[in-house]
Amino acid sequence: MKSGRKLVSLFLVTGLLLGFFPGWAQVAATLKLKDYRPNSIYNIPKTTVPKARYPVVDFHAHDYPKNDQEVDEWVKTMDEVGIAKSMVLTYATGAAFDAIAQKYARYPDRFEVWCGFNYTDADKPDWAQRAVAELVRCHAKGAKGVGELGDKGLGELYSKPTPGYGMHIDDPRMKPLLAKCAELRMPVSIHVSEDEWMYQKPDSTNDGLMNAAKWNVDMTKPGILDHDQLVATLEHAVRDNPGTTFIACHLANCNSDLGKLGRLFDAYPNLYADVAARYGEFSPIPRFAKAFMEKYANRIVYGTDMGNESSMYRITFRILESADEHFYEHGRFSYHWPLHGLDLNKATLKKIYSDNARRIMR
């Protein structure tokens, strides 16, 4: 009995010393996943990349500045981190596009402003003719490309002032617009679907739960297309418009199965993809993502879609350039998993950062 009591006492003392007591268990039991902010304890290399290895063209930025001073500040940040040029995807047409184009006119070598499509009265017989005329007008005002078009299941919703409900990129009515883009050498940047996690139930089995709960796609809406159906609309448009250059935003939202995008790359030389705002999705699989990007280095372009702060650019460079393992960036990526560097080779980095941009924009 005495030996038993001594054993129990030793266990309790050890537990108290090590922190094994009910209070900690209760904290763990009540901790919400949204509040989970782990710090990596691994004593491993931590790389700081203050400036990109090569000059960078950002194919996925938006109209963040509110005035001329903020444009100037953005240019200063671009100089600091090595961004040579940013493509400002406006979604806009008409007077709204003109105003945005004017805002960046002081820096013609640092920004390209891309327009949207005007879907106003898309149900009218002469819509395509009017939409093409507005595209030509925007091009004359300085639009170098079109985008970001966006379809999360119900149609081209991103363009302003009128969204294109019910009209997908492979709709026959889009054909004259896409043909004109080819004629004017205006690439088309398009976001289709969301990543696979957003279509799964936001429950305990979803390993992308924190983002999936926020961006979960409601598949109960009448007529909504699912992930693969939306990727198919992109494929149809790329296939049927071989003279038009397409840039699939966010790796076509195929990060959980990059083989789907690889198949499209193999089939269609007029398709590219940007990596914007998906660093948190592909960095958990660094070896596979590295192999994919090095295999398709001629078809991938850099993008951000996450604002224009210097810290944002630098975390993207760390993920692409370094071999760092198991680090977190809670302020920008809301998944619970750690990030890893891809350690892309120099040739691949150069192509993704700028060489492919020169080929796309001729």
pLDDT at residue number 279: 98
Spell out the residues 6+ positions from residue 116 whose beta carbon is closer than 8 angstroms to its own.
90, 91, 92, 93, 97, 146, 147, 149, 158, 159, 160
Of residues 25 and 270, more confidence is placed in: 270
Could you tell me the pTM of the whole model?
0.92
Considering Cα of 181, then 161, then 172, then 61, what sign does the dihedral take? positive
Domain borders along the chain are 1-31, 38-361
d(CA 238, CA 249): 14
Instruction: Give me the CATH code for the 38-361 domain, please.
Output: 3.20.20.140
pLDDT higher than 50, residue 182:
yes
For 262-318, the pLDDT digits (tens) are 999 999 999 999 999 999 999 999 999 999 999 999 999 999 999 999 999 999 999
Q: Taking all residues of the chain, what is their mean pLDDT, rounded to a whole number? A: 93
User: For 76, phi and psi rounded to 5 degrees?
Assistant: -60, -45
